[in-house]
Amino acid sequence: MGRALVIRHVAHEGLGILKRPIESDSVVEYVDLYRGASVPSRIDGYDGLVVLGGPMGVYEDDRYSFIRPELKLIEDALKKRVPMLGICLGSQLLAKAAGAKVYKGSAKEIGWHDVTLTEDADYDWLFLGFPDRFRAFHWHGDTFDVPEGGLMLASSELFPNQVIKVGPAAYGIQFHLEVTEQMIREWICVNHEELAALKGKVDPKAILDETPERIETLNRLGAALGARFSRMIEK
C-alpha cells in the first residue's frame, strides 16, 4: 500500500466521496491545519499528496502562516513527481507553487454549474470516460492562470481554468467533485454569512433543490476519479 498525506484547512472540507477509494488503497495521514498541525517541509516518505479546500486565499500568507510551508511542500512534490490532487484552495496552491498567478475572479461561483472538458482531458488517465460536459458543484471566488508547461483540462463559463495538470501527476481541480449531499447542506449552514452577502446572486434554496438530482452523478464521477488517483499513489 502507498502512503498518502492529506491536508485539511477547515473541519467541514474533508475528502468526502474520495475518502473510501483513497483510504482503501493507502495509509492516510491527515494534517489538520485548523487544529494547529504543522506542514511537513518535504514530501519524502509519502507516495501521494491531497490538498483540500478552505476559505482563505493563497495571497493571504500574511494572515495564514501555513500557506508558505504548503507551497514549499507542493514544490517538493512537483520536483519529485509525487502524485498530487489539489481541490479548490488546493488547486490554487498548486498553480502558485508551479509559478502561475492566483487572484480574485470577476464573481463568486457557488452552486451547480456546468464544466466542459478540453481535448487534453479526453486522453488523460484521471478523466477517461468522463462526459465532455457535466454539472459540478462549485464554491470559489479565486482563480488562477495555467502554469507554464501545464495543461488546462476543464473550464466553466465564469472560470475558464477549472482543472489544470502540472507535470506528469499533479492535478488541480477548482470545483468540488468530492462533496456529498450532507457536505453541501453543512457548507450552506456554515457559510450563511457569505451567502447572505450574496443575496440576489446566489440562492441557497435553489442549490438545495437541485442537489438531489445532481449528486448521484457527481458522486459517481468523484468515486471514479478517487479510485484512479489512488492507483497512481500505489505505483
Domain of 27, CATH number, reads 3.40.50.880
Structural domain of residue 18, as residue ranges?
2-234
Q: What is the pLDDT of residues 126-148, one digit of tens each?
A: 999 999 999 999 999 999 999 99
Helix ranges (DSSP H) in the chain: 19-25, 67-79, 89-97, 119-122, 181-190, 192-197, 204-234
Give the Cα separation of 93 and 101 in Å (integer).
Answer: 10
Exposure letters 96-110 (e unless 16+ CB within 10 A, then b): bbbebebeebeebbb
Number of domains in the chain: 1
Of residues 13, 70, 109, 178, which has the active-site annotation? 178
Whole-model pTM over 0.95: yes
Whether the pLDDT of residue 235 is over 80: the answer is: no
Q: Please report the pLDDT score of residue 234 as a whole number.
A: 78
Give the Cα separation of 122 and 72 in Å (integer).
Answer: 31
For this structure, is 176 an active site residue?
yes
Of residues 88, 109, 138, 140, which has the active-site annotation? 88
3-state SS of 92-128 is: HHHHHHCCCCEEEEEEEEEEEEEEEECHHHHCCHHHC
Q: Please report the pLDDT score of residue 1 as a whole number.
A: 81
**Average pLDDT score over the chain:** 96
Q: What is the pLDDT of residues 173-209, one digit of tens each?
A: 999 999 999 999 999 999 999 999 998 899 999 999 9
* Nearest CA-CA partner of 14 in 201, 195, 179, 134: 179
Q: Binning pLDDT at 50, 70 and 90, where does residue 25 land?
A: confident
